[in-house]
Amino acid sequence: MAMNDSVNILNSAYLAVEYIDSFLPDNPLQQPFKNAWNYMLDNYTKFQIATWGSLIVHEVSYFLLCVPGFIFQFIPYMQKYKIQQDKPETWEKQWKCFKTLLFNHFFIQLPLICGTYYFTEYFNIPYEWEEMPRWYVLVAQCFGCAVIEDAWHYFLHRLLHHKRIYKYIHKVHHEFVSPFGMQAEYAHPLETLILGTGFFIGIVVFCNHVVLLWAWVICRLMETIDVHSGYDIPLNPLHLVPFYAGARFHDFHHMNFIGNYASTFTWWDRLFGTDSQFIAYQEKEKKKQFITKK
């Protein structure tokens, strides 16, 4: 009975969004995107699209999303938004991070990306424009992927902090006490595989078109680079996402090496009380600000 009620609610929500979408003006970017997509299908094989297309989407998205945070370090005005103001970025750390990223991207992640084509073939996932899901379906699928990845990340990340294994794997990621955007995927190769598995679970559950692979890559990179940015920017549109953790939440984890284990949302840490130190820290900061103002 409860299952039927849930299905009815979801169906009603879908119909409501579809109805609202019918009144929205046509997206001026849709036709150029359609033309580009069909050009890609006509000129490249599915293997090339799934493999090299996915690699390009990942690399371009990753480093483009890192650009704002990288530029902030040179803008004095932005320093008031930096969370750990006493720990500025250094060229030495950023260069070391960049070299490790290139190794992880091309020697760990690229072999996994090479399996994308075979994944799409095995599950008969379409590439055609006519099969592409509507934007609101894509948004819902990405949100579903984020919920699944967040659960996986919370429990496996917390396990990686166990005192018996922390120094062998996860310690690499915590080399930078004050994180910066490019450091989001700076990790031990084993951690890349362990925590990265959560990324693919949602794909297996929801994927009904190859475009979801790329949309979810961009969404996940946007989130993880934001929480590692080291800057708590006001009016950040990601804060409109319900229960979104954000940079200050994850920055505390890097400062203290404990608590706030989830990647995107706050509910797992709230449920298990692993955000208690963060909450206490926030209360102290509020009291300091209040005394300073007085």
Q: Where are the domains of the chain?
A: 50-76+89-227
CA angle 124, 131, 208 (to 5 degrees): 45
Q: Quick one: pLDDT at residue 6?
A: 43
Give the torsion sign (CA, 11, 14, 16, 18): negative
Which pLDDT score is estimated for 7? 45
Close Cβ partners of 3 (under 8 Å, ≥ 6 residues apart): none
Provide the whole-model pTM.
0.90
- CA dihedral 169→174→180→185, nearest 10 degrees, is 10
d(CA 202, CA 268): 18
Torsion sign across C-alpha atoms 219, 159, 183, 79: positive
The per-residue pLDDT for range 198-255, each reduced to its tens digit, is 999 999 999 999 999 999 999 999 999 999 999 999 989 999 999 999 999 999 999 9
Structure tokens at 229: 């940015």
The full DSSP string for the chain is -HHHHHHHHHHHHHHHHHHHHTTSPPPTTHHHHHHHHHHHHHHS-HHHIIIIIHHHHHHHHHHHHHHHHHHHTT-GGGGGGBSSTTS---HHHHHHHHHHHHHIIIIIIHHHHTTHHHHHHHTT----GGGPPPHHHHHHHHHHHHHHHHHHHHHHHHHHTSTTTGGGTGGGGGG-SS--GGGGG---HHHHHHHHHHHHHHHHHH-SSHHHHHHHHHHHHHHHHHHTSSB--TT-GGGGSTTB--HHHHHHHHHHSSS---SSBSHHHHHHTTTHHHHHHHHHHHHHHHHHH-
Nearest to 178 by CA among 292, 77, 97: 97
Bridge partners, residue 84, by sequence:
none
List, for the chain, all residue ranges whose pLDDT scores fall below the cut of 50: 1-3, 6-7, 9-10
